[in-house]
Structure 1
Amino acid sequence: MPCSGKDLCSNAQPRIHWTRSRARAAPGNERELVSSSTSPSVVDVTEDPVAGPHMRKLRAEIALELGEEIQIVSEEWTHSRLYADLVDDHALDSYLSSAVSGYRQDEQRWAKLPQKPSEVAELYGPIFDIVSHIISELGEPCGEGATWVVVNSHTSRFTQPKFKSLCPDMSIKATGPSFQRRMDKDDYLDGVGYGNVASVVDVRLQGRSNDFDQAIQAGFYCRQIYMRQPNRNFVRSLVITEHSVRMLHYDRSGFYFTPLINIHNNPRTFIRLVLGLSSPDESVLGLDTSIQWTINPATGTKTAGIIKSIDADGQPITYNLDMGRPPFYRGDVFGRGTTCWYANHPETGSEVAIKDIWRTRGKTSECDFLTAAQGVDGVVQMISFEDHCAETLAYRPPGFRADGFEPRVKSRTTMPHYGKSIQHFTSRYQVISALRDALAGYRALRAKGILHRDVSSHNILLGSPGAATGRRGVLIDLDMSAWTWDLTRLRAETGLGQRRYQSTAVLHNYQFSLPPRHDHLDDLESFFHVLCNLVLLYEGPGEQSKKLRETLARCETLNDVTAVGSAKINFLCRPWAIRSWWGQACKQLFRRFQIMVDDIGQQKHCFYMDETLTPEAKRDGMEAIAEANEDIYDKVIELFDDALAAIEKEEASAVPATAPADSVVAEKQPAIATNLKRRSIEEHSDAAPPSKRLSPPATTQADSPVAAKQPATVTNLKKRSVKEHPDAPPPKRPSPTSPKDSDAPENPPQNIRSRPPPRPSARSDLAAVPTPTLAPPTEHSKAASGHGDRSNFNGLSTDALPKRTRPTARVNRRKRGQDASPSKAVRRSARLNRV
């Protein structure tokens, strides 16, 4: 049978919890232990070739998130406090003494359970009967429109039998204001999915699985329930054997287990646990009851919903959920648990976004930063803030303490509604202007003493349609921010942000005994990685490059943070192919931004490599680089302004001359006239207004001799296809194309490596060719590079990388296009490569 989390061997390796000290001291092979942490010691030859690897991958991901510590709370609290108020002792005694309960008080055991079962299948039926009977006899009655039914998975039909080992053995199926049955494909049993279960139960043989196996399996259930029931504050499940029961609790601060409780000697505790996980009170189940839905009884789907909060005056208000937009949430079990709801004001109908988030206790509230950011263009604005909606400490025994445990507090922020995240752009002008205004917003935040520290594509939204300059892009998510004067916190909190967008310096801070503080230069590199994820990943609106998607995704899946940092260095110092759709303006923007960020990285690397410096001197030197670049955001924003002006020129020059339908040109060149057709405003909503474009030449009448004598000229102005380059201007005259100006193949250099010896500055490339088209390495450059063997990234050897030398193919300066910038004298400098 397929390998499952229930059948994993007891020697499964725990996840390595990466701290700076462990990252420095651990050998390379230790860092890879987690990749096989859930692999069985003996491979089952009957394992399904598709489902088996998929299940192992899922369990490995859960194991990574859980960590290596399992907290087991006291038995005394489990007996005396947990669900103690759900049923009184008199009702319990009456039930246990009755013949229908199935419990024999004289023998002190549940009669239906076999004492020594040989296989787990012998327990499914008896445990199902006991649990069902407890709920039907002692459970509270369900309210109107709510039902609770216990479902035995092994007497039901699995919708995907190959993955049945990922499914719970029993499910408490529920209907009510927080549950819905989604599409059939989301069900793991007929009519049962993670969107309509109150709790789940696993059945195992005593002693056949260890605690870590149980944690992985229950962690998978928890993740699925969180995603299908986004108003969950916590998730609980049970593991029942022939002798004992255990509750497993998961919330945003972590997880814990109760000890194994003997169900024969402690039937009252067993009954309370069953009633607690099947309670019709949604708050007891761990659901946030301030968010409720109306359920269609015929289909079981949500048709309307509400979310309660406070308004700008602090008065209670109930918003109507936008059922056309599902909430945004992150798939992690632990951490901030960000969930964003989209709703409408009950009276005005105006759109709002309501964000729920769990912050660590003692951390500065996002409300403080949002208050300081009031009135700042390019930064999210706040309507209201509600704090202490819930606390993870309340779900634990009094005085709970554990290594690594951080109590979290839930808050709710109401904000105006903006557009979608920046990846949902529809034009070049729109996306570049949105990123430009987010940069300007960040600059304004710094002026108020706020450092964002979590810049990513998800945290930059497109502005509302027709937004003015400064509001075309909005920087959101200030919950990871810090005050610039809080030096202690800035130095202590390292590794913040999403892997894909973290700066190389932040990723390498684990190697420092005294890491430098997170500064605005780290966030500037994060903005550059946002640009990388746009111009390198997207071939046009909504069209991603598969190869680049896999390359960028590896930044989030590699376990070794040092390897991720080395891989991301390539985005700073190597040439990359950019799709022609982006045009020369975006290519030049990318290249200039890249050089600026790489130059900063080179400076920091000099301190990192200097073995003569003390840790304090290295830290102080790297922090001094930030102080010397206080005005760098002004320079970057100027790059974006230049790019936007160039895009307007490119789009204006791309507008062709059109002729009347009865003209000679139109009659003789119907195909060309069609090819010169301008894209619609709907397709390119951010194009500059017509008044700023070049005026098209006057058209000629049908009897014009000029029109009749110039068909070749019109032919030469044939526009390239919209799919290839909708924004490109037609060439003024035919001219030979330099290899440097042609679009490079899609395969960019992608490798994990240490920095090589000093290389020529990337600025020399820009000085030689003002508007370069980035190209991947060639066989010739491979032979010339002289690099030895190195580890590779995405299967490409670093031997294929070219030296950073002046290109051999140069643009003819006399034939440079009219919009190209003149070459600038730039000081060359030999720069070290950093790890």
Structure 2
Amino acid sequence: MPRTARNPPQDFQPRIYWTRARARAAQVVQNVPQEPSSKASGVTLSSKSAKRVPAVDPTEDTIAGRHMRKLRSEILLELGEEVAIVSEEWTRSLYTDMVSEHALDSYLASPKSGYREGEQRWTQIPQLPTDESDLYGPIFNVISHILSELGETCGEGVTRQVVNSHTSSFKHPDYKNICPDISIKATGPSFQRGKEEDDYIVGIGYSSVASVIDVRLDRLSNDLDQAIQAGFYCRQIYTQQPNRNFVRSLLITENSVRMLHYDRSGFYLTPLINIHRHPRTFIRLVLGISSPNETVLGLDTSIQWQINSATGAKNAGTIVTVDGRGHVVSYQLNMTRPPFLRRHILGRGTTCWYATDPETGAEVVIKDAWRTESKILECDLMTAARGIDGVVQMLRFQDHCAETEAYRPPGFGFGAFERRTKSRTVMQLYGRSIECFTSRYQAISALRDALVGHRDLHGKGVLHRDVSSQNILLGPPNASPGHRGVLIDLDMACWTWASSELRAEVGLGTRRFQSTAVLHNFELKLPPRHDHLDDLESFYNVLCHLVLLYEAPGKRSKEVDDWLRKCETTEDTFEAGVIKAGFIIRFWPVSPWWGDACSKLLRSFRTIVNDIAGDKGYLQRTHKKLPEEKRDALEAMAKEHEGIYDKVIELFDDALVSIEKEDNISNSTPTATSADPGVASDKPKAIASLKRRSTDEHPDAPPPKRLSPPPIARAASPENLPSPEVRPEAPLPRLRRSGRSIPTADPTPTLAPPTGPHPKAIAIRKDALPKRSLPASNSKARANPKKRTHDTRPKASPPKAVRRSARLNRA
């Protein structure tokens, strides 16, 4: 039965980051490349094995096989089907300092080792096994004896133990074929006893293994299948051990051993080396992946934990970095907040640690990331951002913490290999993602301040290029304007004057928030530069993500979520661009919780974005211009809209003023009582503020900027109520904004807008929506809705807008 692997839980929705490398990987899935071997670097290319792997094996397990097929496509898309195989000579040079030649000779000459030098064979391992299960016990015994006799002495609190999964109790028996056959169980400063539900066998999970070993039959093994299976193990270890720099595992057959290596630049395999003719190499590889030295295992030892001896869990930890003067600074890790990390193997491998500054006692976030050699140093970009409100601020920076080139043979130049360097940045700690908002005012003000920060950063010559909801954080409680929202993560940022780089790096960003122009640039022979208009549309997409996706704090709309996921699941960038354009044009009703102010903001912002996207789309699709003329026209368009920031910021400022007025009016309104005060009502009270808190959905989110006052006490009798008839048993209708003044003869008080939908809620008419058109269209005429003809009330001079209660108007 071929090996299989389980995909992550179905309710986990990963963020899709689209890069040129990802686009190349997607093409590799469809067309297996035929590149010649790289003799100079001692690396060969294995691509034939990809063709030998059947799509569906008739004997495969129906449960595990379904997950394997999905996981296979994920890993192929991420890493590609090109398998780099390093030279056997370099493989023999690995871990030579783990054990001396004299110790090896003595061990192999001993009858207890199970190796017969005269026969050149490990006698315990069957020569002609009929099934994999024939190999589990013998290989386990050989490895256990090697560790007990030749393994390094472990220090206090450090252990290494070989475990045969097939003689243990599987936590999930249906998935026993997708678990490692042999595990090197570990204890020490970087390992812990994980949650019981995360174990694959009783007492062992990926948080407590130094490495894993797979067992195969020679005739059933192939390069790509092995790489996919080991890639699954690697991904789990990276997730459970976030201080990993690289992960290595072994594959052992009845005759051979192979090491599989994974890091942020990709993966490679060693050739299959005969364990009977080269027992010394076999022993060194076993000792290497089970070493008590965590650096040898691929762990970053500048991050260490203290382990509770009773529970086996991490209860304290430190992370060490170096300041600008070269002094070592040790930060205490916040153990109540786990680190943020990306679950992919290849790429930046961003990991954010939450810690406390030893000098100031302030909370900080420490970011580890792996950048390519050609990438601009994030430290330089963050230096340019110093002092800019609404943009993340750097405190310390350390470069060259590690390099992926050091884990490969000298001169390694296989395929699209890119050397990556690890850096560590200490930054101020802000709030949680803007998605954790608890009030309208908090969400809109945070997005507004991040937009202002983006404008000022662009004025310093830095373009962000990855605006998303995850890269906009809430400011601290009661923050002043300019600090209510913060734009973070300058990994993909670039200098605005670097035209060649801005043109070459097409399609960067988070797929859900990319502009339509960025997606369609893949179709152009000469794509234009990524510009601030693309980032501006990303801000609009964040606003849609908040106002349309969330019906209230923590409550998501399945229909909108499904639509947005269409952009992330398709690999066709043109199709994704069409879907994104359709999303902009389509009318989406705004939840009543957001009120008219946010609805108006969305419509006005959409008008601006729609016009820009229409103009860019026309230039991208026109056949009247040569490729170079298209590029120049698109880049000139960005220069013509340098002042567009102020228009959009003004929309946000107007919306915040309206929200504040609405909240002040609703906060000053008495709460109506039940029609029968003597009977307890099972219906909820009308809320006193549009800005309601939702601590159940967001327990860690900061409180809103302005808290509502305590609710006014209920009236003791009906005489204290307003004169109009109140019907508390009926659901509240949706509010409509009115531009008319209220006649003074009408004493009807105003109430807060409803919190839920109503069957008679009035939606914005479709004729009020902007329509995509060519650049010559009249956008102002489109944006104005038709006058309502059913209203016969006399018009007063245009005063400030006053919110009326539709609930009381029924009287």
TM-score by length of 2: 0.84
Aligned CA distance change for structure 1 residues 329 and 24 (closer, same or farther; 3 Å) = closer
Aligned CA distance change for structure 1 residues 563 and 106 (closer, same or farther; 3 Å) = same
1:253 pairs, out of 241, 245, 265, with 265
Pairing 1:746-757 to 2, within 5 Å after superposition? none
Other-structure match for 1:686: 704
- 2:151 and 2:758 map into 1 onto residues whose CA distance is 79
Aligned CA distance change for structure 1 residues 599 and 20 (closer, same or farther; 3 Å) = farther
Pairing 1:593-604 to 2, within 5 Å after superposition? 593-604=605-616
- For residues 347-397 of structure 1, the C-alpha deviation after alignment (integer angstroms, 9 at most, x for no partner) is 542111000000011321110011111110000001100100000001011
- 2:118 and 2:163 map into 1 onto residues whose CA distance is 31
Q: Which has the higher contact order (CA 8 A, sep 6+)?
A: 2
1:68 pairs, out of 81, 84, 101, with 81
Query: Is 1:56 aligned to 2:69, yes or no?
Result: yes
Aligned CA distance change for structure 1 residues 457 and 813 (closer, same or farther; 3 Å) = farther
Residue type of the alignment partner of 2:704: D
Other-structure match for 1:89: 101
- 2:194 and 2:758 map into 1 onto residues whose CA distance is 56
Pairing 1:397-408 to 2, within 5 Å after superposition? 397-408=409-420
Residue type of the alignment partner of 2:4: S
1:713 pairs, out of 724, 745, 749, with 724
- For residues 664-694 of structure 1, the C-alpha deviation after alignment (integer angstroms, 9 at most, x for no partner) is 9997999799835525998385365889x9x
Task: Report the alpha carbon displacement of residue 127 of structure 1 after superposing the two structures with TM.
Answer: 0.8
- Please say which of residues 593-602 and 404-413 is displaced more in the overlay: 593-602
Query: Is 1:193 aligned to 2:210, yes or no?
Result: no
- 2:29 and 2:632 map into 1 onto residues whose CA distance is 29
Pairing 1:751-766 to 2, within 5 Å after superposition? 764-766=781-783
Other-structure match for 1:542: 554
Task: Report the alpha carbon displacement of residue 58 of structure 1 after superposing the two structures with TM.
Answer: 2.0
- 1:727 and 1:187 map into 2 onto residues whose CA distance is 56
Task: Report the alpha carbon displacement of residue 468 of structure 1 after superposing the two structures with TM.
Answer: 0.8
Identity among equivalent pairs (%): 55
Residue type of the alignment partner of 1:59: R
Aligned CA distance change for structure 1 residues 699 and 715 (closer, same or farther; 3 Å) = same
1:117 pairs, out of 90, 111, 129, with 129
Pairing 1:199-210 to 2, within 5 Å after superposition? 199-210=211-222
- 1:278 and 1:728 map into 2 onto residues whose CA distance is 72
Task: Report the alpha carbon displacement of residue 314 of structure 1 after superposing the two structures with TM.
Answer: 4.3
Other-structure match for 2:640: 628
CA contact (8 A) 2:318 2:333 kept: yes
CA contact (8 A) 2:547 2:591 kept: yes
Task: Report the alpha carbon displacement of residue 45 of structure 1 after superposing the two structures with TM.
Answer: 7.1
Other structure's SS at 1:359 match: strand
Other-structure match for 1:492: 504
Pairing 1:159-170 to 2, within 5 Å after superposition? 159-170=171-182
Equivalent residue pairs, number: 748
Residue type of the alignment partner of 1:686: P
Other structure's SS at 1:454 match: coil
- 1:181 and 1:20 map into 2 onto residues whose CA distance is 36
- 1:375 and 1:227 map into 2 onto residues whose CA distance is 35
Aligned CA distance change for structure 1 residues 715 and 655 (closer, same or farther; 3 Å) = farther
Pairing 1:123-272 to 2, within 5 Å after superposition? 123-272=135-284
Task: Report the alpha carbon displacement of residue 763 of structure 1 after superposing the two structures with TM.
Answer: 5.3
- For residues 230-288 of structure 1, the C-alpha deviation after alignment (integer angstroms, 9 at most, x for no partner) is 00000001111111111110000111111111111111111111111000000000000
Pairing 1:297-312 to 2, within 5 Å after superposition? 297-311=309-323
Other-structure match for 1:768: 785
Residue type of the alignment partner of 1:767: N
1:346 pairs, out of 340, 358, 361, with 358
Pairing 1:279-294 to 2, within 5 Å after superposition? 279-294=291-306
- Please say which of residues 59-68 and 542-551 is displaced more in the overlay: 542-551
Other structure's SS at 1:207 match: helix
Aligned CA distance change for structure 1 residues 24 and 454 (closer, same or farther; 3 Å) = closer
Task: Report the alpha carbon displacement of residue 652 of structure 1 after superposing the two structures with TM.
Answer: 1.7
Q: Please, which runs of 5 or more residues in structure 1 have no aligned partner?
A: 7-16, 750-754, 771-808, 823-835
CA contact (8 A) 1:246 1:257 kept: yes
Q: Please, which runs of 5 or more residues in structure 2 have no aligned partner?
A: 7-17, 33-49, 695-702, 740-747, 804-811
Residue type of the alignment partner of 2:591: R
Aligned CA distance change for structure 1 residues 219 and 738 (closer, same or farther; 3 Å) = closer
Pairing 1:668-683 to 2, within 5 Å after superposition? 675-676=685-686, 678=688, 683=693
- 1:590 and 1:332 map into 2 onto residues whose CA distance is 34
Task: Report the alpha carbon displacement of residue 114 of structure 1 after superposing the two structures with TM.
Answer: 1.4
Residue type of the alignment partner of 2:785: A
2:762 pairs, out of 742, 758, 761, with 742
- 2:334 and 2:518 map into 1 onto residues whose CA distance is 38
- 2:775 and 2:466 map into 1 onto residues whose CA distance is 31
Residue type of the alignment partner of 1:768: P
CA contact (8 A) 1:23 1:510 kept: no
Task: Report the alpha carbon displacement of residue 59 of structure 1 after superposing the two structures with TM.
Answer: 2.4
- 1:714 and 1:504 map into 2 onto residues whose CA distance is 51
CA contact (8 A) 2:302 2:319 kept: yes
1:518 pairs, out of 515, 523, 530, with 530
Other-structure match for 1:432: 444
Task: Report the alpha carbon displacement of residue 18 of structure 1 after superposing the two structures with TM.
Answer: 9.3
Aligned CA distance change for structure 1 residues 105 and 814 (closer, same or farther; 3 Å) = farther
CA contact (8 A) 1:656 1:677 kept: no
- 1:763 and 1:514 map into 2 onto residues whose CA distance is 33
Residue type of the alignment partner of 2:82: E
Pairing 1:307-318 to 2, within 5 Å after superposition? 307-311=319-323, 313-318=325-330
Other-structure match for 1:643: 655
- 2:354 and 2:185 map into 1 onto residues whose CA distance is 28
Residue type of the alignment partner of 2:555: E
Other-structure match for 1:295: 307
- 1:444 and 1:512 map into 2 onto residues whose CA distance is 30
- 2:352 and 2:720 map into 1 onto residues whose CA distance is 63
- 2:670 and 2:738 map into 1 onto residues whose CA distance is 17
- For residues 2-48 of structure 1, the C-alpha deviation after alignment (integer angstroms, 9 at most, x for no partner) is 87269xxxxxxxxxx996999999899879xxxx9999445547743
- 1:687 and 1:479 map into 2 onto residues whose CA distance is 30
Other-structure match for 1:564: 576
Other-structure match for 2:286: 274
Other-structure match for 2:91: 78
- 1:672 and 1:42 map into 2 onto residues whose CA distance is 56
Other-structure match for 1:779: none
Task: Report the alpha carbon displacement of residue 814 of structure 1 after superposing the two structures with TM.
Answer: 5.7
Task: Report the alpha carbon displacement of residue 68 of structure 1 after superposing the two structures with TM.
Answer: 2.3
Task: Report the alpha carbon displacement of residue 717 of structure 1 after superposing the two structures with TM.
Answer: 10
Pairing 1:357-376 to 2, within 5 Å after superposition? 357-376=369-388
- For residues 545-599 of structure 1, the C-alpha deviation after alignment (integer angstroms, 9 at most, x for no partner) is 2333233233222222222121111222111122111111111111111121111
Residue type of the alignment partner of 1:683: R
